[in-house]
Amino acid sequence: MRIESAETVVTSPGRNFVTLRLTTADGVTGLGDATLNGRELAVASYLRDHVAPLLAGRDARNIEDTWQYLYRGAYWRRGPVTMAAIAAVDTALWDIKAKAAGMPLYQLLGGASRRGALAYGHASGRDVPELLDSVRAHLADGYCAIRVQTGVPGLDSVYGVAASGAGSGERYDYEPARRTASGPALPVEETWDTRAYLRHVPGVFEAVREEFGPELPLLHDGHHRMTPIQAAKLGKSLEPYDLFWLEDATPGEDQAALRLIRQHTTTPLAIGEVFNSVHDYTTLLSERLIDYVRSAVTHTGGVTAMKKLLDLAAVYGVRSGMHGPTDISPVGMAAALHLDLAVHNFGIQEYMRHSAETLEVFRTSYTFEEGLLHPSETPGLGVELDTEAAARFPYEPAYLPVNRLADGTVHDW
C-alpha cells in the first residue's frame, strides 16, 4: 500500500476546483478536495511543489502519522492553504483505506448513527415575494430545512442572494466567486448598509413564518457583517421566529464577540466556515459560546482533524453544521456526509446542488431523499474523478465580492 503517485487536478466546470488524486503501487486510488475559493492556485502549488514530493513511497495505511508529518514537519502550521492541502491528502488516504477494506468510509469511522443527514438548502430573493417562491421551490425539491436570505432595500446587490446582480447584470447561483466579463479578473465591489439590513431582516422572518408556519427549521447567515452589539440586537429581534441558527454574526477571528452576543440573545449561534483548526474553537467550545461547528472537511485538515474537532465539540454539547456550498467539491461533500452519518453529535448539513457540468467531472453516488443525505454504500468516499471531463474545463480566475460602506470603506462580508 505504498503511495506511488500524487496528481493535482485543477478544473473549472462552472467554478474552480482543486482535487488531489493519490495512487498506490497496487493501483488503488483516493481523492481529496483542496479547493480554496478564490485562492485555488495557491493550494495547487502547495500540493505540487511541497507536498507531493514528500508522499512517494509512504505507506498509505498510516493516515495519522502522515497527517502529523505534514502538519508538524513543515514548521509553518495552520492557515487555509496549508490545511486545505493536508485535508486533501488525508481525505484521499481515507478513501484508499476504505476502498481497500471494501467498505464505505463511514463504516471505518464507527458505523452509522442515523438513517441520513438532515440537509438545508438556500432560499433567497431580491424581495419577500421572490423569497417565498424560492422557499416553496426548495420544499418541492425535498428540503426540510431552509436558509433564508433576501435583498435589502436600497442595495443593488447582496452577497448570498442568487437573484442579485453579479456585477455584470447576470444571475448567479448561490454565492460563487465571480468572473468579470472583460479585462483582468477583479473582485466585484458591493455597497453594504448594516443598519438597513438590521431594520429589514426581522420583517422577512415574520413573513416567512406567517406563510410556512412554526415547524419549518429556518436558518440565516450574517456573513460576518455585524459588530457584536449589532449581532446581539439582531439575535434578540429574531427570537420570536425561532431560528435553527444565526450563522457568522461577527468576524470569526473575534472570539470575545461571541460572549457579548450570548449575553443578549437565546438565538442559537453557528460559526466556523473560515476556521481551519481545532485551536480556533477551544474558547468557543469550552465557554459554550456557540451551538454549531461550521467548519468544512476541505478547509480543516481532512477527515482525521474534523473527526477530532467534532468529538471535542460533543464534550460541550455542541453539534455539527458542516460547511457545504458549491465551492466544496463533490469529493469534500462526500467526506462530510460520511462523518455526518457516523458522529453522534450531528446537527445539520449544508447542501447546495452542484451543476450538471460539475457532476460530469465528479461522478457521485451520494443521495438526497426526503430531506436526508446519505453517502451511499459504495466502498471509499463514493466519488470518482473523470480526468478527461476535467480537462475540458480549464481554470479561470474568479473572486468573491468585496463589500464597501457608502463612504467607500472596505467592510467585512
Residues designated catalytic: 159, 223
Phi, psi of 403 (to 5 degrees): -95, 140
Of 322, 227, 305, which Cα lies nearest the Cα of 270? 322
CB atoms within 10 A of CB 304: 23
Contact call for residues 280 and 307 (beta carbons, < 8 A): no
Of 234, 157, 231, 200, which Cα lies nearest the Cα of 400? 157
CA-to-CA distance for 77 and 71, rounded, in angstroms? 6
- Residue 26 neighbours by CB under 8 Å, 6+ apart: 1
Residues in the chain: 413
DSSP 203-268: HHHHHHHHHH-SSS-EEEE-TT-S-HHHHHHHHHHHGGG--SEEE--S-TT-TTHHHHHHHH--S-
Phi, psi of 402 (to 5 degrees): -110, 135
Burial of 409 (0-12, 13-18, 19+ CB in 10 A): exposed
Helix or strand holding residue 92 (H, E): helix 80-101
Task: Report the alpha-carbon angle 53-57-59, nearest 5.
Answer: 120
Largest separation between any pair of C-alpha atoms in the chain: 61
CB atoms within 10 A of CB 49: 10
- At residue 89, the 3 state secondary structure works out as helix
CA-to-CA distance for 123 and 249, rounded, in angstroms? 19
